[in-house]
Structure 1
Amino acid sequence: MHEVKKVLIVGGGIGGLCAAIALRREGVQVDLVELKSEWTVYGVGIIQQSNVVREMARLGVLDTYLKAGYAFEDVCIYNLQGNQLARIPGQRLAGPDYPANMGVSRLALHQVLSESAMDLGAHIRLGTTVERLEQDAAGVDIEFTDGSKGRYDLVVGADGIYSKIRQMLFGDQYTPRFTGQAVWRYNFPRHPSIDHLASYQGVDGNAGLVPLGENLMYMFSTSHEPDNPWMDPNKLAELMRDRIKNIGGLVGELRDQITDNSQVVYKPMEVLFVNEPWFHGRVILIGDAAHATTPHLGQGAGMAIEDAIVLSDEVRGADSIEIKLGRFMQRRFDRCKYIAEQSVLAGEKEMAHDHAFDRVGMVKEMLKLTAQPI
C-alpha cells in the first residue's frame, strides 16, 4: 500500500495553509512548520479572481472568506485619463449565489486560513523549519532546526521564492531573477465608485484600485526600476507619488493623499519557474517555491491555492507516490507555466512602452483559461 497518512508542510503562507486545510479534509495527519516565530503577514491586499473563489468553496471556507473581504463582479480597464476602455464581466464559478471575485486584506485572508487549518486539527509550529531531510522508498526522515525529528509519507515545500526545500532538491539550479520592475501599494478609505477592480493602463504608467472592505481599498502601481535600486524608506511616499504622476481620474485625485512613508509597501518583482517535475521522491514543491511570478495577472496566490487542492486530490488511493505526484504535475505544470510566462510578458511590454500591447485581450484569455476546471 502507498497511502499518504502523514504530511509535513514547510511554510505557513497561503499555499501552505490551503494545503493543510485540504489535506486535513482528506483525513491526512498534517504538521506545518513556519520559520517566522511570529506569524506576520507581508503586504496590503490581494485580488482573488473567480477561479480562487471556486476553490475556496472546495476548501470549505467560502462563507468565512467572503465575510473577510469585499466581493465584486467586474474588472474595468481605464486609460490614464480615467476614461473606461473595457468592462470585463465576472464569472460566478462557485455558483450563482456567490460572487465572481474578491478583494481581501492579506491579514484577513491569513486569519481565515490559519484558523481553519487549526480548527481542522493541523499541528502548527512557529519558529521552526527543516534542518535536513533524508528519504527512502517508504518515507522521509526530517530533522528540524529545534532539534526535534519526524518521519513523514510526504513533505510539501511551500516556503516561498527563497525556498530552502527547493535548494535541498535542486541545489542552486533555480534562483530568483529580478524582472526590472517593482510594485507599490497603499491603502485608502474605499471610494464609493470602487465596487470593482479598476485598472488604469497606458504607456506612461499604470495603477489599479481594489476594494478590500466596505471602508477599505488599496492602490497598486508597477514601475520600471533598472538595477533594482535601494529605496530610502523615508522617501517612499514621495517616490510612489512620482511613479503615478501621469495618471488622472480617481488615481490622480488620490495621489496627494499618499503621505505616510511607513504605509507604502514597496516590493521588487522577482520570478522563478522550476522547468521540470517539482518533486524528487516524496518531497514536492508548490506555490512560489516552484513558480513565483509577477502580479500582473493577479494569479500568483491563485496558482498556489490550486496547487494545494490538486495535491490533496492526488494523494488519495493506493497508487505509488511517483504516480500520484506525476498526476499532480500533469494537472499543474502547463497551467502554472502559462500564468508565469504571460505575467512576465505583461511586465516586459510595460517596460518597453509597447503601444500595440493588447492588455485587455491578455486578461480575457487568462480568465477563459482559469475558468476551466483544474
Structure 2
Amino acid sequence: MISGMVSGWVSGKRVLIVGGGIGGMAAAIRFAEQGGQVTLIDIDPQWRVYGAGITITGPTLRAYRRLGLLDAIKEQGAIAEGATIFRYDGTRLHDLDEPALEEGLPATGGIMRPVLHRIMQTRVRALPIAIRLGLTVRALAHRDDGGVDVTFTDGAQADFDLVVGADSIYSGVRRLAFPHMGEAQPTGQGCWRLSIRRPPTLTKGEFYFGHRVPAGINRCGAEMVYLWMLTPHVHRAQHFTDEELFVQLRDNLADFGGNAGWVRDHMTRDDWINYRPLAAALQPGPWHDGAIVLLGDAVHATTPHMACGAGMAVESALVLAEELDRADTVGAGLAAYQARRFDRCRHVIDTSIKVGRMQLDGDSPDAIGAAIGAGLHRLAEEY
C-alpha cells in the first residue's frame, strides 16, 4: 500500500490503537495513511520509553522501509554489513550468515530504543491521529453493528469500528477480550543490557559464544553500543540495586576477551544497566473477536535471541492494515491477518526458545550460530 492512497475497508473507519509502542505506532501510521480515523492511546502520560539499544536485523529494516522510516533509522542509528561470531575469550570464529534481502537494504543495524521511538512518534504526530495519553481501556463490548463500545480508565466512553490491542506482553486488551489466552511463560534466562561508548576497534555486531553465559555487542549510534548478556534466571525477592547491577554484570564478564573484555574494563556506574527475566508466548487463535484484534507482544511475545521482536510487531501492523484494506468485511480481514502471521511468528518464537535452551545446555558456538543463521534465512522470505 503506497502512503497516501485511500481505499478499501479502512478508509473512514474509526480505529482505536491501544498501546503506543512500536507495534501500536506502526499500525496507527499505516491506518492513518489509508484514511482511517485513528485514535492512539498509551498508559504513560509522558509517552516515554526506556532501554538500551536494540538490534535491527534485515527483516526488521525491510519492514521499516515499507513503513517509510528506513532513512531516519539509518541517519540516527548505525548500519552494518553483518556480524561476527567470537569465542568468549575473543578468538574470532566466523561471520554470521545473514542474507541480503533487497537491493540497497543493509544487512543489519542498531539504534537506541528511545531514538527509534522518537522517530516513530514524530511520524505519528505528523499524521491526523488523535493521541490520548495517561489512560487505557477498562471495558470492551461488541455492538450490534459490528463495532466496539469502549470504556476508558478515565470514565469516558466512545465507539469504534476496530480496536487493536498492541499494549505489550502484559496486554490489558488480551485479558479483557480473549479469555482463552494466557500469560507469557518464563524461558529460564534473564537478559542484561548495558549502554556504553563504542570500543575503538568495533565496527559491526559481535557475538560471544562458548561460555556458560553468551553475550554480544551491537552498535546503536555513531559512538554508542549496547552489550547484552544472557544468564540463567534465578528468582529474587527484590530487584537488583544499581550497585548490584554494576558489580554482577562486571563479574559476569570476568572471563571475556575482545571487545567484551574492553567493555568490562571501561564500564562505569554512570552507564545504563538493566536486567529482566525473559518470557515468551505465541497465543492460540483466534487472535480476533469481532472487531477486536491483537498484535505485537500482546499476541506473539518473543525473546531477543533472533533480534526480531520489533520487526515482528511492525510486520504484523503492516499485514493487518493490508488485509483489512483489501477485505470486504472486518472479519475476513482479521482472519486473513492471522493466517499470514501465525506460522511466521511461531517460527521466530520457537527458534528463539530453542537457541535459549542450547545456550543453557552449553551447546557449541558453531551449533548456536548455525541455529540463528538458519532462523534468519527463513525470515528473509516475504511475509
TM range, smaller chain? over 0.9
1:326 matches 2:335: yes
Q: Aligned partners of 2:176 and 2:62: how far apart in 1?
A: 34
Residue 123 of structure 2 is matched in structure 1 by 116
Shift of 1:272: 2.1
Residue 220 of structure 2 is matched in structure 1 by 212
For each residue in 1:123-170, what CA deviation from the matched residue of structure 2 results, as whole angstroms up to 9, or x when unmatched?
111101111111135211111112222211111000001100000122
List aligned pairs for 1:29-178, cutoff 5 A.
29-88=37-96, 90-96=98-104, 98-136=105-143, 137-171=145-179, 173-178=181-186
Shift of 1:276: 1.7
Shift of 1:173: 3.9
For the residue of structure 1 that corresponds to 2:89, the secondary structure is: coil
Asked if structure 2 preserves the Cα contact closer than 8 Å seen for 1:178 and 1:228, the reply is no
Q: Aligned partners of 1:310 and 1:266: how far apart in 2?
A: 32
For the residue of structure 1 that corresponds to 2:44, the secondary structure is: coil
Asked if structure 2 preserves the Cα contact closer than 8 Å seen for 1:157 and 1:166, the reply is yes
Q: Aligned partners of 1:62 and 1:348: how far apart in 2?
A: 33
For the residue of structure 2 that corresponds to 1:116, the secondary structure is: helix
Asked if structure 1 preserves the Cα contact closer than 8 Å seen for 2:359 and 2:368, the reply is no
Alignment CA distance shift 1:55-1:355 (3 Å)? closer
Asked if structure 2 preserves the Cα contact closer than 8 Å seen for 1:203 and 1:355, the reply is no
Residue 9 of structure 2 is matched in structure 1 by 3
Unaligned residue ranges in structure 2 (runs of 5+): 1-7
Out of 235, 246, 263, which is 2:255 matched to?
Answer: 246
TM score, norm. by length of structure 2: 0.92
For each residue in 1:324-367, what CA deviation from the matched residue of structure 2 results, as whole angstroms up to 9, or x when unmatched?
11111111000001111111111112112234871121122122
Asked if structure 2 preserves the Cα contact closer than 8 Å seen for 1:14 and 1:305, the reply is yes
For the residue of structure 2 that corresponds to 1:165, the secondary structure is: helix
Q: Aligned partners of 1:87 and 1:111: how far apart in 2?
A: 32
For the residue of structure 2 that corresponds to 1:296, the secondary structure is: helix
For each residue in 1:205-244, what CA deviation from the matched residue of structure 2 results, as whole angstroms up to 9, or x when unmatched?
2111100111111111010123356343131100111222
List aligned pairs for 1:153-302, cutoff 5 A.
153-171=161-179, 173-227=181-235, 230-233=238-241, 234-260=243-269, 263-302=272-311
Q: Aligned partners of 2:202 and 2:349: how far apart in 1?
A: 28
Asked if structure 2 preserves the Cα contact closer than 8 Å seen for 1:291 and 1:336, the reply is yes
RMSD: 1.9
For the residue of structure 1 that corresponds to 2:175, the secondary structure is: helix
Shift of 1:55: 1.3
Q: Aligned partners of 2:99 and 2:126: how far apart in 1?
A: 31
List aligned pairs for 1:308-347, cutoff 5 A.
308-347=317-356
List aligned pairs for 1:356-371, cutoff 5 A.
358-371=367-380
Q: Aligned partners of 2:365 and 2:264: how far apart in 1?
A: 28
Asked if structure 1 preserves the Cα contact closer than 8 Å seen for 2:147 and 2:291, the reply is yes
Alignment CA distance shift 1:251-1:317 (3 Å)? closer
Alignment CA distance shift 1:122-1:91 (3 Å)? farther
Q: Aligned partners of 2:83 and 2:148: how far apart in 1?
A: 45
Between 1:294-303 and 1:183-192, the stretch displaced more is 183-192
Residue 4 of structure 2 is matched in structure 1 by none
Percent pairwise identity: 35
Alignment CA distance shift 1:247-1:323 (3 Å)? same
Asked if structure 2 preserves the Cα contact closer than 8 Å seen for 1:45 and 1:106, the reply is yes
Residue 5 of structure 2 is matched in structure 1 by none
Unaligned residue ranges in structure 1 (runs of 5+): none
Alignment CA distance shift 1:261-1:346 (3 Å)? farther
Tell me the matched-pair count. 373
Alignment CA distance shift 1:107-1:258 (3 Å)? same
Alignment CA distance shift 1:230-1:320 (3 Å)? same
Q: Aligned partners of 1:262 and 1:133: how far apart in 2?
A: 42
Q: Aligned partners of 1:230 and 1:202: how far apart in 2?
A: 30
Asked if structure 1 preserves the Cα contact closer than 8 Å seen for 2:306 and 2:376, the reply is no
Between 1:156-165 and 1:317-326, the stretch displaced more is 317-326
Q: Aligned partners of 1:113 and 1:106: how far apart in 2?
A: 11
Q: Aligned partners of 1:121 and 1:76: how far apart in 2?
A: 43
Which amino acid in the other structure matches residue 302 of structure 2? T
For the residue of structure 1 that corresponds to 2:123, the secondary structure is: helix
For each residue in 1:2-56, what CA deviation from the matched residue of structure 2 results, as whole angstroms up to 9, or x when unmatched?
9331210000011101111111121111100001111221210111111111111
Q: Aligned partners of 2:328 and 2:382: how far apart in 1?
A: 23
